Amino acid sequence: MTVEPGTITPDNRPVDVGAAVTKMEALLGGHIAAYLDACVHCGQCAQACHFHEATKDPRLTPALKLQPMTRVYRRSKAPFSGLRKALGLAPEVTEQDLRAWEPLIFDTCTMCARCTIVCPMAIDIASVVAATRQAFVAAGLGPPDLLEAAENARTRGSPLGLTEAKLADRVEWLADEHETEIPLDKPVAEVLLTVSSIEMMKYPDSVVAMAKLLNAGGVDWTLSSKGYEATNFGVLSGKADIAKLMVERIASAAESVGARIVVVPECGHAYGVLRWTGGNLLGRELPFEVMHITEFLAALKRQGKLRFTPYTDQAVTYHDPCQISRRGGATADARYLLDGFATDFREMTPTGNYNWCCGGGGGVQAMGRAADVRHEVFRIKMAQVEATGAPALVSACANCRLTMDESSAALGWDKELLSIVEMLADHIEGAPNPAE
């Protein structure tokens, strides 16, 4: 299984091959080398990957995403690599290789980890892809719009230009418009709420919904202008310094208000990054607990602090964001929230930890050049939803929502796409009915 160099969307940027190889050598420690050694080339991962299944292109088999690291490993780090090199059995990485591999590493991997659950060797291809992206960025490669979003996060605070000043403006506007208290920069709070700039700029109602729910639950919470952006485009783009910076900002904000819990909003990768790799990126244990908003609301519901009137409008099904369910471990709480609330709830097949990705995770949503393949992938989701007969799809990730909104528009699909926090906020028991 090899990709023929030069067959997939090359471009004309200069490429520093040596920098890529040096970076891969540096990252080839422990678990990555073990994964490369472990692959038995069985090909079972192919049918688990939405890119492979949507296109039937064998070049998109997940195991092939191990190729760049494998090539460097065999030449410089693996047992007998010196002998292999001397015998001409360990070819160098070339510029042509890197250009050919780039779409495999960026455009066609959402880091969803569906391949890992079928792999007999449990190889976490997503983590190898994340490391390989760092090497491609070192070489001067990577989708320009994804890299720009990451730089925006560094220089302006967020990938979509949600600066501190814009955050303050929008919080004031939303609080006034919806007559809802949205605390910003309280000096002390038990809970720090973060937001995704996708929500704040494209789906602001979900920010209002979170505020209404936290207020109704009697939570002592705040947003902070020191650290508000939940997304981490440093991780998605392969820019490790930005990945660390984004976690540092949240940690600094949480520590300055004394927050015991940081709540991540409807954003899958933000949750996965902060909860499962935040301490590694920060270089110390996180000084707070990380909870996704669905986990936090489920806890409030369990404690009897939040109750909801039933949602009877229509049948709904639930899309599991990969980084919240399969990779995040928070699969059950969204269902706990929907249980007894959505009166006609229908699981799609497969669901939960086996659910198909929307096609826009791993930064793929931000890559304009990946739009066509993303829409093809979305046909899998459409078929899943159609099979339930439900006219509406609810989820808990603004990135999934944006991906699904764009693909629905591109493909002329007419199902309603809903946010779980917005549904819940509209049905808080004891709150005024929004329809009245």
Binding stretches for ligand SF4 (CB under 6 A)? 39-45, 48-49, 51, 62-63, 65, 109-115, 119-121, 123, 125-126
- For 386, residues 6+ apart whose C-beta sits below 8 A from its C-beta are none
- For 272, residues 6+ apart whose C-beta sits below 8 A from its C-beta are 323, 324, 327, 328
Alpha carbons 325 and 334: distance in angstroms, whole number = 9
Q: On the CB side of 298, how many CA atoms lie within 13 Å of its CA?
A: 17
CB of 111 or CB of 167, closer to ligand SF4: 111
- Residue type at 370 in one-letter notation: A
CB of 125 or CB of 139, closer to ligand SF4: 125
Shortest Cβ 336–ligand SF4 spacing (Å): 26
CB of 108 or CB of 158, closer to ligand SF4: 108
CB of 42 or CB of 89, closer to ligand SF4: 42
Shortest Cβ 4–ligand SF4 spacing (Å): 19
CB of 108 or CB of 232, closer to ligand SF4: 108
Shortest Cβ 394–ligand SF4 spacing (Å): 22
- For 177, residues 6+ apart whose C-beta sits below 8 A from its C-beta are none
CB of 72 or CB of 421, closer to ligand SF4: 72
How distant is the alpha carbon of residue 266 from its chain centre?
Answer: 10
- Residue type at 206 in one-letter notation: S
For residue 307 the two structure tokens come to 């109750």
Shortest Cβ 118–ligand SF4 spacing (Å): 6
Alpha carbons 193 and 221: distance in angstroms, whole number = 7
Q: How far, in Å, are 23, 259, 323, 365, 383 from residue 193 at the CA level?
A: 35, 10, 19, 24, 35
Alpha carbons 46 and 314: distance in angstroms, whole number = 36
Shortest Cβ 132–ligand SF4 spacing (Å): 11
Number of separate helices (H) and strands (E) present in the chain:
21, 7
For residue 375 the two structure tokens come to 């829409």
Shortest Cβ 194–ligand SF4 spacing (Å): 25
Shortest Cβ 198–ligand SF4 spacing (Å): 20
CB of 28 or CB of 189, closer to ligand SF4: 28
